[in-house]
């Protein structure tokens, strides 16, 4: 992972972060025509490692890499950790340069738009004036829409996957249950728990709630059903059913790699996501888009249902935009954008055509 420093980042809340560290990775080679850069945006608990580095696998390895749908032999792929995160970019666990202590909950509330503006400053710092494409799923897809609206001349193609233009009431409701689980853990201590681990029980429960929303009832029934471990007459709070064991495992796994305060800040950024905010509504915001838009939805997605994404696609078409819409049928529900790699590759691949790759190959060689 590489690091870059951004100075004086003005936030939507009115505060200014004087120094922001951005953690990011790159894969491939930036060509002489400066036409092959792609920005990949990650989801809630993701990081900048979208592409494997030989030691650690990437979370989108099935889609990005040498010879894959987004071929890093020809394209230059950039992925940043988001503002407020805990994987190399300034967030609540970072040291406040003024107080010499972790920000904790003194870190300002950030939005998806703030994340995108920080990414834009990084892209500028890297000497990139134009992106071929911006792609991301879930919270990453929110960033994609913000990119398309905030910097409409900046890219040729945007691919928002399993996402929305503004978060729904249902998704906000689930997020608040997760938030309450963390904040009601006595070890949260109003966010001032560093250097201790903090509210690991609350964060684990929040993750369990999240995992229920990421998958489908059909998948849970198929994978677990009513299968149980040991006797059905277990202690009142013991894990009896395999689905319980699975959820608890997922919760315990997250607390080993993620900061609870970052989880809270990113949930709030998702809750407040609305590309129409300050732009006279969603339709007016969409009218600013210049790039080709490729909307990809996932069937049975509880958080980002297909009708909302169909409405976005239809609205863009009515505005005369160049837009394609696809729906992936998946038993995995929302998590399909991370699991259904063959289906994703078939849809995404054509937007990174061979003819473009051949042209880029000659540029890289000659």
Active site positions, annotated = 138, 301, 334
* CA angle 93–212–57, rounded 5-degree value: 55
Asked if residue 335 belongs to a known ligand binding site, the reply is yes
As beta bridge partners, residue 133 has: 38, 157
Q: Are 41 and 134 in contact (CB under 8 A)?
A: yes
The kind and range of the H/E element at 365 are helix 354-365
Task: Count the helices and strands in the chain (H runs, E runs).
Answer: 12, 12
Distance in angstroms (rounded) separating the CA atoms of residues 35 and 37: 6
**Cα-based distances in Å from 116 to 95, 145, 258:** 22, 10, 21
Q: Are 55 and 62 in contact (CB under 8 A)?
A: no
Asked if residue 207 belongs to a known ligand binding site, the reply is yes
Total Cβ atoms within 10 A of residue 76 = 23
**Cα-based distances in Å from 49 to 15, 82, 181, 335:** 29, 12, 28, 18
Q: Are 304 and 334 in contact (CB under 8 A)?
A: yes
Distance in angstroms (rounded) separating the CA atoms of residues 211 and 221: 14
Q: Are 242 and 229 in contact (CB under 8 A)?
A: yes
3-state secondary structure 111-163: CHHHHHHHHHHHHHHCCCCCEEEEEEECHHHHHHHHHHHHCCCCEEEEEEECC
Residues annotated as binding site?
Answer: 207, 335
The annotation places the binding site for substrate at 207, 335
């Amino acid at each position: 992972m590489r690091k870059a420093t951004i100075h004086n980042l003005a936030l939507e809340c009115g505060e200014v972060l004087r120094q922001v560290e951005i953690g990011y990775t790159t894969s491939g080679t930036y060509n002489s025509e400066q036409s092959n850069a792609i920005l990949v945006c990650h989801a809630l608990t993701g990081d900048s490692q979208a592409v494997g580095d030989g030691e650690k696998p990437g979370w989108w390895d099935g889609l990005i890499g040498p010879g894959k749908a987004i071929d890093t032999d020809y394209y230059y792929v950039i992925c940043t950790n988001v503002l407020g995160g805990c994987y190399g970019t300034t967030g609540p666990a970072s040291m406040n340069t003024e107080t010499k202590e972790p920000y904790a909950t003194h870190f300002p509330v950030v939005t998806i738009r703030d994340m995108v503006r920080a990414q834009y400053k990084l892209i500028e710092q890297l000497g990139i004036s134009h992106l071929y494409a911006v792609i991301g799923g879930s919270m990453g897809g929110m960033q994609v829409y913000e990119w398309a609206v905030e910097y409409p001349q900046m890219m040729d193609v945007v691919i928002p996957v399993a996402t929305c233009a503004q978060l729904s009431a249902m998704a906000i409701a689930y997020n608040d249950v997760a938030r309450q689980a963390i904040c009601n853990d006595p070890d949260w201590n109003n966010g001032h728990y560093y250097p201790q681990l903090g509210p690991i029980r609350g964060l684990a429960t929040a993750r369990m709630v999240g995992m229920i929303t990421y998958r489908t009832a059909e998948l849970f029934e198929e994978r677990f059903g009513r299968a149980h471990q040991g006797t059905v007459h277990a202690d009142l709070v013991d894990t009896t059913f395999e689905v319980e064991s699975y959820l608890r495992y997922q919760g315990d796994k997250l607390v080993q790699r993620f900061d609870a305060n970052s989880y809270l800040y990113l949930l709030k950024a998702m809750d407040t996501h609305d590309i129409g905010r300050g732009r006279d509504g969603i339709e007016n915001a969409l009218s600013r888009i210049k790039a080709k838009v490729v909307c990809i939805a996932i069937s049975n997605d509880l958080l980002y249902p297909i009708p909302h994404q169909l409405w976005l696609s239809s609205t863009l078409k009515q505005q005369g935009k160049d837009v394609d819409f696809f729906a992936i049928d998946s038993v995995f529900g929302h998590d399909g954008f991370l699991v259904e790699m063959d289906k994703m590759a078939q849809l995404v691949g054509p937007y990174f055509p061979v003819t473009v790759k051949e042209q880029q190959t000659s540029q890289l060689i000659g």
